[in-house]
């Protein structure tokens, strides 16, 4: 009694019959499953005895399981009287076997099948297949697949024989065909995909009289091939889920039943089976209007489509435990239960036509097999598989094709919701197969998720008209902007769509990795996305430039690193950045500390700065082979309440001189025996700030996920993106910082803080306030092509300070400091720029000043003053928007991140503002603003924050409603002078027509010489070309106006330069102001 497990072997039939003779139930399991999955199945099935012809490792399984290794004969010898009495004393059960579903629709579930259900199937097989004692069947299907039941018990019942090949022969179609010929097999039961390979051998089987195909949809051309090769054999197509004891319907494909459909019908109900066809509108009440196919008085109309539901004595008991009880419900027309298959079928003249599993995409029902059939109808596509995948937290259709040419995909006649979003080419030899020969859709699904995660996207049918480079560019752009292809407005600019400088650098770098040249400056320019996509050209990149040489030895300090040492912190070792993640890999895979350590060491080998050490203010890099010394990994069990203490302890273990600077911890929040549930793990990573910044975390998390997927067996490659430029190159390109001018910022804030406030506080007394700017205001902030988000935030900050009586502010503007060359480089690239902001300026002037000061006279590294405020607009940077698919931020991270900095370390600023875009559930962005300040100024700072949020909305609305030309600053027009100087210059020389200026650029040396001559003699250098032109004078005037529109030089004015450099500048004016002049001049000449 109880249940047994059989893991395979040559003594298959004696073992099975022995188990059944002992009145036990068996649970067949493949021996090559992951140990964690086997443990789960053993516990779920309440297994008492394990039977195997191989040694078994049951470490971690229930202590009640007895492992009996060796062959089946050993088991018979070891069953003594004591064990026999254990069997006799156990509870009797009607259960014959338990099979676990494949898990394609969720977590695998154990299906309990009774003797009664199997007996009904055996009797049905004997009748419909006309089985005889002289029959011999080829046992080619693994026991864990219920189709194997049809190959064993029906033939033994009638006295037939079973030819059992070895496992190696089962996987080789040629060897299996040869064995079938030698054994004079009369009956074959196979999966269609494996049978198609079996037919390729064209081996003669004179004794063959029946072919049974099941387990997958059967194509009409496969049936025709089998009839042509074996004309004397009857061909059957059977269908049935595991929950209904193997077969539910049967169809005999005779030569007279040639269907117009590409798929063969699955036929009519078997004996002892009752089928209901439930239309889609029967979801509310399945007992209404669901005609019963088993009842000849209630046959549905031809063409009816619905979900197939099964009842009758052939139904399984149900699932083990309480898993998915909704699948089995009370049958409305028969005693017992009814099983909802989730499969879509259509009633035809030949019976039922299988359409596929019912899935929903964006709320609409989709039959996957219907889409596959449409794809296979395209020329050149021999094989197709359509799957449901997760793309940026959205269920989408993806397709694998045996053809690389995508030009035919645009001809697909499918509704929009049935068109796959991504297409992946796959050679016929690369299609994964299960041990039973079926297409391994689980493996395909994992490959699809991996390819989506690794940005190796396929060709989208929406953009087939573009070149290969443009397709890749648009797919990549959509992922980075978190938008679908149909949401990309190709007529808009990159900035208008929400792109910023960090995203532009990442996009440009990823394109360059594929040999596509597109600079970040071009992305941030005025060209629309469509124009950029059509102009992409393939560029050759020198191989030696693809990856920088691994560094070791001394590396100069970068500006922010020098600034760090100038702070003279009390605890310099405890100045970290960290992230806490929730691993959620497919298949409920569980991490362990050994795999994590191996992956973190690989990260340190790939990214030089993770191997850094500091002796005083000297920076050294360990050789790559010593990367293990730079990494430390811990594993522990902790409750949610204990996480705080553990994180605080780990943060304090960073050592700048001896190492490590890179720490990882794998935390188990709960344990249930050996079964670890998804979401109960936390992965904590801690790195000293000297070697990492926020953008670096995006690179690290993407690389870490690739390494983990490879180590867990979920990916075939661990190749990381090449690091094209080292941090050393960046450090060398930055000059030494200038000395600080003390106390300028404090004097400016005296009106807000009061004269008695002196000195900085520590992180122990710092307070944090968080505010949010709603999505509609955020959209205005990030989509303006004229003023950047950080410039608007600076103006809002100054305007809010003005409401609190401050007259000016000194602010450090923090920027990422990267360009495309350093997109994949890890290090502290942050750069600061000191800005003085007046609080009393009107909005137009304040916005122009903010633009001009942010975009000119860049100050690398340290400031020229000592501002007391720092503002950092991260945009979409940071680990929260990493492209990692299976590593998500833990909800506890925001609270635990306060341990990154030692509480006794002195703070650098009175006020620090962190602004980051947050993606909402509805797909819209909102701006999260964190206000970190001295705890002694709580009430004042809270008022300032609220006023800042209010002013940000006013500034965004003003920018949105103001014409772009009215917000032009000297930096927009190529001038480096101040706004006030520029305005005075335009008032003197151009009548203040700033809004009509298109551009400003210096004159050439020849133009300057000609201008000098013109000042002495206004008639000098005037050229004319008299022409006698017949025709309508007005049309000639319009033609000349069109020429002036096209060429800005014809609309230019020349004036002395507003700043140092060239003596004269030329300014093309807008067509609107020049058209009246042109028309006026022409009119006078015409008269």
Res 601 pLDDT > 50: yes
Percent of the chain residues topping a pLDDT of 70: 71
Query: In this predicted structure, which of 159-168, 410-419, 476-485, 816-825 has the lowest mean pLDDT?
Result: 410-419
Res 3 pLDDT > 70: no
Q: Which two tokens stand for residue 942?
A: 């809270």
| 865-886: average pLDDT | 72
- Helical spans, DSSP H, in 962-1050: 979-989, 1005-1016, 1033-1046
277 exposed, middle or buried (CB, 10 Å; 0-12, 13-18, 19+)? buried
85 exposed, middle or buried (CB, 10 Å; 0-12, 13-18, 19+)? exposed
Tens digit of pLDDT for each residue in 524-543? 777 777 777 766 644 433 33
User: pLDDT class for 627, splitting at 50, 70, 90?
Assistant: confident
| 152-176: average pLDDT | 86
Tens digit of pLDDT for each residue in 1012-1031? 888 888 888 888 888 787 77
CA–CA distance, 133 with 160 (Å, rounded to integer): 4
Tens digit of pLDDT for each residue in 260-271? 466 788 888 998
The pLDDT score that the predictor gives to residue 957 is: 92
Strands across the sheet containing 631-637: 631-637, 662-668, 681-688, 576-583, 887-889
User: pLDDT class for 123, splitting at 50, 70, 90?
Assistant: very high
The pLDDT score that the predictor gives to residue 271 is: 87
Strands across the sheet containing 249-252: 161-163, 136-138, 187-190, 210-214, 234-239, 249-252, 268-269
| 871-884: average pLDDT | 70
CA–CA distance, 609 with 690 (Å, rounded to integer): 9
The pLDDT score that the predictor gives to residue 185 is: 93
Res 416 pLDDT > 90: no
| 12-35: average pLDDT | 80
CA–CA distance, 372 with 401 (Å, rounded to integer): 9
Fold classified for 1-93: Rossmann fold (3.40.50)
Picking from 396, 400, 445, the residue whose alpha carbon sits closest to that of residue 421 is 396
Query: In this predicted structure, which of 189-203, 646-660, 823-837, 944-958 has the lowest mean pLDDT?
Result: 189-203
The pLDDT score that the predictor gives to residue 513 is: 67
Q: Which two tokens stand for residue 528?
A: 């629309």
User: pLDDT class for 238, splitting at 50, 70, 90?
Assistant: very high
CA–CA distance, 689 with 712 (Å, rounded to integer): 30
Give me the residue spans of the domains in the chain: 1-93, 94-352, 362-465, 553-672+679-709, 744-878+905-964, 979-1086
The pLDDT score that the predictor gives to residue 861 is: 38
Percent of the chain residues topping a pLDDT of 90: 13
Q: Which CATH class is domain 553-672+679-709?
A: alpha beta
Tens digit of pLDDT for each residue in 546-562? 445 556 778 888 889 88
| 779-801: average pLDDT | 89
Res 183 pLDDT > 60: yes
Give the three-state DSSP class for 344. Answer: strand
CA–CA distance, 956 with 318 (Å, rounded to integer): 60
CA-based radius of gyration for the chain: 37
User: pLDDT class for 742, splitting at 50, 70, 90?
Assistant: very low
The pLDDT score that the predictor gives to residue 405 is: 53
The pLDDT score that the predictor gives to residue 760 is: 58
Res 225 pLDDT > 70: yes
The pLDDT score that the predictor gives to residue 948 is: 93
User: pLDDT class for 871, splitting at 50, 70, 90?
Assistant: very high
Res 1007 pLDDT > 90: no
Which position has the higher pLDDT, 692 or 412?
Answer: 692
The pLDDT score that the predictor gives to residue 582 is: 87
Res 411 pLDDT > 60: no
| 415-425: average pLDDT | 72
Q: Which two tokens stand for residue 585?
A: 């890999």
- The CATH number of 362-465 is 3.30.300.30
Res 858 pLDDT > 60: no
CA atoms within a 13 Å half-sphere pointing along the CA-CB vector of 972:
23
The pLDDT score that the predictor gives to residue 251 is: 92
**553-672+679-709 and 744-878+905-964 share one fold:** yes
CB 916 within 8 A of CB 927: yes
Res 777 pLDDT > 80: yes
| 1023-1049: average pLDDT | 80
CB 31 within 8 A of CB 8: yes
Q: What sign has the CA pseudo-torsion 215, 220, 221, 223?
A: positive
Q: E strands along 764-862, which residues?
A: 766-773, 808-815, 831-838
User: pLDDT class for 852, splitting at 50, 70, 90?
Assistant: confident
The pLDDT score that the predictor gives to residue 10 is: 56
CA–CA distance, 954 with 948 (Å, rounded to integer): 10
CATH superfamily label, 94-352: ANL, N-terminal domain (3.40.50.12780)
Res 72 pLDDT > 50: no
CATH superfamily label, 744-878+905-964: Nonribosomal peptide synthetase, condensation domain (3.30.559.30)
User: pLDDT class for 745, splitting at 50, 70, 90?
Assistant: very low
| 197-216: average pLDDT | 87
| 798-816: average pLDDT | 84
Query: In this predicted structure, which of 153-162, 598-607, 1044-1053 has the lowest mean pLDDT?
Result: 1044-1053
The pLDDT score that the predictor gives to residue 539 is: 42
* DSSP annotation string for 606-638: HSGGGGEEEETTEEEE--GGGGGGGEEEEEEE-
The pLDDT score that the predictor gives to residue 974 is: 63
φ/ψ of 576, rounded to 5, equals -115, 170
Spatial neighbors of 311 by CB under 8 A, at least 6 apart, are: 273, 274, 275, 276, 331, 333, 334, 336, 337, 338, 339
The pLDDT score that the predictor gives to residue 38 is: 77
Res 741 pLDDT > 60: no
Mean pLDDT, the chain, as a whole number?
75
């Amino acid at each position: 009694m109880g249940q047994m497990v059989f893991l395979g072997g040559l003594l298959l039939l004696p073992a099975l019959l022995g188990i059944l003779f002992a009145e036990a139930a068996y649970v067949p399991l493949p021996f090559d499953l992951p140990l964690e999955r086997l443990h789960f199945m053993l516990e779920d099935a309440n297994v008492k005895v394990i039977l195997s012809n191989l040694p078994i490792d049951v470490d971690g399984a229930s202590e009640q399981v007895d492992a009996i290794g060796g062959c089946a004969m050993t088991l018979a010898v070891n069953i003594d009287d004591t064990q026999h009495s254990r069997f006799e004393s156990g509870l009797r059960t009607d259960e014959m076997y338990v099979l676990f579903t494949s898990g394609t629709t969720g977590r695998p579930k154990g299906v309990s099948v009774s003797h009664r259900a199997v007996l009904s199937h055996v009797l049905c097989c004997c009748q419909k297949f006309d089985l005889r004692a002289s029959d011999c069947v080829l046992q080619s299907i693994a026991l864990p697949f219920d189709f194997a039941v049809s190959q064993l018990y029906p033939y033994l019942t009638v006295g037939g024989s079973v030819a059992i090949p070895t496992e190696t022969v089962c996987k080789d179609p040629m060897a299996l065909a040869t064995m079938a010929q030698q054994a004079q097999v009369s009956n074959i039961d196979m999966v269609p995909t494996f049978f198609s390979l079996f037919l390729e051998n064209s081996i003669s089987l004179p004794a063959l009289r029946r072919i049974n195909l099941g387990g997958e949809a059967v194509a009409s051309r496969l049936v025709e091939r089998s009839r042509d090769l074996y004309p004397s054999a009857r061909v059957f197509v059977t269908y049935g889920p595991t929950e209904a004891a193997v077969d539910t319907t049967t169809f005999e494909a005779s030569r007279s039943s040639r269907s117009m459909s590409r798929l063969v019908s699955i036929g009519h109900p078997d004996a002892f089976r009752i089928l209901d066809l439930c239309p889609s509108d029967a979801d509310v009440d399945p007992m209404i209007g669901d005609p019963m196919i088993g009842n000849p008085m209630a046959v549905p109309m031809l063409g009816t489509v619905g979900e197939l539901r099964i009842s009758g004595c052939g139904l399984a008991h149900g699932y083990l435990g309480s898993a998915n009880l909704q699948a089995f419900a009370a049958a409305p027309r028969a005693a017992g239960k009814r099983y909802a298959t989730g499969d879509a079928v259509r009633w035809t003249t030949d019976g039922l036509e299988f359409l596929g599993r019912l899935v929903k995409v964006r709320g609409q029902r989709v039959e996957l097999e219907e889409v596959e059939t449409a794809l296979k109808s395209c020329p050149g596509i021999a094989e197709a598989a359509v799957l449901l995948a997760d793309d940026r937290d959205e269920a989408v259709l993806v397709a694998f094709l045996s053809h690389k040419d995508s030009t035919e995909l645009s001809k697909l006649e499918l509704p929009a919701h049935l068109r796959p979003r991504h297409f992946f080419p796959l050679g016929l030899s690369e299609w994964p197969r299960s041990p039973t020969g079926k297409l391994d859709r689980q493996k395909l699904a994992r490959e699809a998720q991996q390819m989506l995660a690794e940005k190796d996207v396929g060709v989208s049918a929406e953009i087939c008209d573009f070149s290969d480079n443009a397709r890749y560019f648009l797919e990549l752009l959509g992922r980075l902007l978190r938008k679908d292809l149909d949401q990309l407005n190709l007529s808009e600019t990159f900035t208008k769509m929400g792109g910023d400088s960090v995203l532009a650098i990442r996009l440009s770098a990823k394109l360059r990795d594929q040999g596509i040249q597109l600079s970040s400056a071009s992305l941030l320019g005025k060209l629309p996305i469509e124009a950029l996509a059509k102009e992409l050209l393939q560029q050759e990149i020198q191989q030696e430039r693809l990856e920088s040489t691994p560094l070791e030895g001394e590396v100069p300090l970068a500006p922010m690193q020098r600034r760090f040492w100038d702070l003279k912190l009390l605890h310099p070792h405890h100045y970290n950045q960290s992230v806490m993640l929730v691993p959620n890999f497919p298949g409920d895979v569980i991490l362990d500390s050994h795999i994590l350590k191996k992956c973190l060491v690989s990260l340190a080998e790939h990214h030089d700065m993770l191997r850094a050490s500091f002796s005083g203010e000297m920076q050294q890099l360990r050789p790559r082979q010593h990367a293990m010394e730079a990494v430390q990994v811990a594993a522990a069990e902790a409750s949610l309440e204990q996480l705080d203490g553990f994180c605080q302890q780990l943060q304090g273990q960073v050592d700048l001189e001896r190492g490590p600077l890179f720490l990882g911890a794998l935390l188990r929040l709960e344990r249930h025996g050996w079964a670890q549930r998804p979401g109960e793990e936390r992965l904590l990573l801690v790195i000293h700030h000297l070697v990492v910044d926020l953008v670096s975390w995006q690179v690290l998390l993407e690389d870490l996920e690739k390494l983990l997927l490879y180590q867990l067996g979920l990916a075939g490659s661990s190749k990381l993106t090449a690091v094209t430029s080292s941090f050393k190159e960046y450090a060398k390109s930055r000059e030494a910082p200038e000395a600080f001018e003390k106390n300028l910022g404090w004097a400016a804030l005296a009106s807000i803080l009061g004269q008695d406030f002196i000195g900085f506080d520590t992180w122990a007394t710092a307070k944090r306030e968080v505010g949010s700017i709603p999505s509609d205001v955020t959209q205005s902030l990030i989509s303006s092509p004229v003023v950047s988000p950080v410039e608007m935030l600076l103006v809002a900050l100054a305007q809010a300070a003005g409401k609190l009586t401050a007259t000016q502010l000194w602010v450090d503007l923090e920027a990422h400091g990267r360009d495309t060359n350093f997109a994949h480089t890890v290090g502290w690239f942050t750069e600061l720029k000191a800005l003085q902001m007046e609080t009393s300026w009107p909005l137009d002037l304040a916005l122009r000043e903010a633009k001009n000061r942010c975009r000119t006279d860049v100050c690398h590294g340290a400031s020229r003053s000592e501002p007391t405020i720092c503002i950092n607009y991260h945009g979409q940077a940071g680990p929260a928007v990493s492209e990692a698919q299976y590593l998500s931020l833990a909800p506890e991270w925001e609270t635990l991140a306060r341990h990154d900095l030692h509480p006794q370390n002195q703070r650098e600023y009175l006020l620090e503002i962190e602004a980051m875009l947050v993606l909402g559930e509805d797909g819209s962005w909102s701006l999260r603003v964190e206000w970190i300040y001295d705890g002694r100024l709580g009430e004042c700072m809270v008022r300032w924050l609220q006023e800042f949020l209010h002013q940000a909305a006013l500034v965004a609305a003003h920018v949105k409603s103001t014409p772009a030309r009215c917000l032009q600053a000297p930096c927009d027009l190529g001038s480096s002078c101040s706004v006030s100087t520029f305005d005075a210059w335009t008032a003197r020389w151009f009548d203040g027509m700033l809004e009509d200026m298109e551009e400003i650029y210096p004159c050439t040396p020849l133009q300057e010489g000609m201008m000098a001559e013109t000042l002495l003699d206004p008639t000098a250098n005037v050229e004319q070309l008299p022409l006698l032109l017949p025709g309508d004078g007005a049309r000639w005037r319009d033609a000349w106006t069109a020429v002036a529109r096209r060429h800005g030089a014809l609309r230019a004015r020349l004036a002395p330069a507003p700043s140092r450099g060239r003596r004269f500048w030329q300014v093309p004016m807008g067509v609107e102001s020049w058209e009246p002049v042109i028309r006026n001049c022409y009119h006078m000449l015409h008269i």
